[in-house]
Amino acid sequence: MRRPFVCGNWKMHKTIAEATAFVHELLAAPSLGAGAVDIAIAAPFTALAALEPILAGSRIALAAQNMHWAESGAYTGEISAPMLAELRVRYVILGHSEPREYLGETDASINKKIRAALAHGITPLVAVGETQEEHDAGRAIERVVHQTRAAFAGIAPHDVAKCVIAYEPIWAIGSGRVCTAEEANHTMGAIREALPALCDARILYGGSAKADNVAGLCAMENIDGALVGGASLTVGPFVDLITNAGSSS
């Protein structure tokens, strides 16, 4: 049985002081000790070094929001897998819709990043999703299956099986809109079937997931948790979301 997983993606939020204060408060939350859900926080690069010693030995894994595929080089402003591994980063979000849209991320570059992360013992959390236009045209499944197969092209099945997928309908991110649990489950089932190696992989829902809808989402056969944006920025709502995600397991 796949264990539920919630990853908070802070995006471009929180200074080092704000990040450390948040994590101390989160670790002190009594209901966090139930242990039914795996938890990660994808903090900004600037906060990773400060959070690593605080989270060491806790239930909360450290995640990064992106990385470059190269080990090192003339890539101003970029971060490499060895740099993240040194900070004991366990997960890295790759292929999020925002880098795809704003930074020119492509399926080919995501594939190279997945390979680099795996080579350094970091678990890729690979995001796929369709636009409003694609969704309205009935092309959601076609789009996410293509993205999934392109992301993992040429990667050994045993490595693909180590990864986590996040289905994020782009039209739902930060909009307050959310797929119905049934629609999300159907699309995520198609992602799971896109490659045999994903049959037991964890697939998360991302796109306006909140405490009041996450239990219904996680009750679905193909939904194993959530990649959470805005609802991960405040401790109380984030703890409630984690608790509710575990209630359906």
The catalytic residue positions are 96, 168
Closest CA to 186 of 130, 230, 240: 130
Residues with Cβ within 8 Å of 60's Cβ and at least 6 positions away in sequence, in order, are 23, 26, 27, 39, 40, 41
Give the span between the Cα atoms of 35 and 67, in whole angstroms.
Answer: 29
> 35 — alpha (psi -120 to 50), left (phi > 0) or beta?
left
Cβ atoms 124, 94 nearer than 8 A? yes
- Helices 45-55 and 16-27, axial angle in degrees (round to 10): 30
Residues in the chain: 249
**Half-sphere exposure (Cβ direction) of 130: Cα atoms closer than 13 Å:** 20
75: left (phi over 0), alpha (psi -120 to 50) or beta: beta
Task: Determine the Cα–Cα distance for residues 217 and 206; give it in Å rounded to an integer.
Answer: 10
